[in-house]
Structure 1
Amino acid sequence: MNHEIDSDFAPAPAARDLIAGLDKGLQVIEAFDQERSRLTISEVASRTGLTRAAARRYLITLVHLGYARQQDKVFSLTPKVLRLGQSYLHSARLPRIVQPLLYRLAYSLGEAASVGVLEDDDLVCVAAVSAGRVVSATLQPGTRVPAFCTANGRVMLASLPEHQLDAMLGRLKVEALTEYTIVNKDRLLLEIARARAQGYAVVNQELELGLRTIAVPLRNFRGDIVAAMNVSVHESRIPVEDIVERCLPALLKVQTELAALL
């Protein structure tokens, strides 16, 4: 399996090999999010660091290409942007391999299941099956959530070399998303160490009230951790003290099967 190059060890490309326009165009697309789905030229310039004139040209180009629309002085993205994400889901090996076994896992337990990968300080969902249980809007491909307060995220953080984990926690702005969110970094380190030692992580309502998750790492045939897989339940269905007994055996079974395929 071909893995992405670790940016901490890969040499930085020469400036002459980079296309600055593509970089800035993607920054303009990323300026739109759930909180700010409609932006003016000035707002895009502020969020990307571009000049107002440059932001205007990029937005006009995106409108021309069909990736954005304009209404008066306000811009928003169009569904055509989803093609970018679909290109990954259709071409990447990981989602295609895990989806069938994820489907079996979810329906065997009657609960939602998902697979995620670490990107910067976030956990990005790359595959998900609801099994008829709509537990959270975050459990669908393409969603991005903070890694520090999710079970998949903690499993992935536990796999990082110590210097990378220290750097991540050093720059992390820990925010309490619920009353259960662990915001003390020393305690967070203990939870990550616990996940590393026991081989799984349990997170109780730290991302969303009512959402409980248990996750295990997914390793390839060489033993490298390439993703994390979880089962998500609503707190009204499974007490937190029962989630390991109820869900971990099924997770470990699929984990073992996937190790031979990744």
Structure 2
Amino acid sequence: MMWKIVRWDRIETEPIFERHLGVHELLVMLAPPKPHCAFGTACDSRPEGQERGPDICSWCKNMSFDALYKRAEAQADTRLLKRLIDAWMHQLERDNSERIRRGWPCLCASKDPEYRFHAWRRDFNPKDSRLCGTVRHRGQLCARCYRTAQEQECTWLAEFDGDRYGFPCVFEDHRLRRPVDANWKIGPLDAQGHPDPNWEKDPRRHGRCERARFKNQLCQKCFNRMCEIRGFGRYFDTEWGMLRGGMGV
């Protein structure tokens, strides 16, 4: 058997890119991928829109579902776009459920499925491609969304206590720990001068309060516990469960 000896010192080396590719092709390979979106030119992340792609871009995913479905209705491929929007919604639902189950940081309120049909969420468009950050409390806006809402002067921020949707129940509001607040916290007294045991919140029996919709308001759990107690209307509005007169802050 004969063996062929290869002389490595005589092999000519030739840059493969120079042999097969021109300068233009090299630049194309090195350039970052062009942004794309399933909405194509209807995507308003840029004045001219984006190249059509297989998925919804991050700009559009920051919009409300209400706005996305309306935009899809105006396109020729409505059914495809709605399937993509549905898939995005289900992805957020799974992510949210897993975070709750594992005790992980929460989704920004603008991504939380719990708020997708709220009026404030339907009206809010961050107009930004950046992803939302996670938050400590459910119903809280991430730093980017809260800052953007302030810059856009969104009137719905009146429904938020800072960056968090809703307000603490009056029994958990740290601003209502003044000496004068002892009156409504004890509540009406019976003929023997004793308060009703179901009036003041007992964390061991009543659990944690929920968020209230308005400032100076009882949460739904406390309202349900207290509203039938005689004398309730002396301290709280009987329809909304809000502190009367000047008792709030």
TM-score normalised by the chain length of structure 2: 0.30
Larger radius of gyration: 2
Greater share of residues in helix: 1
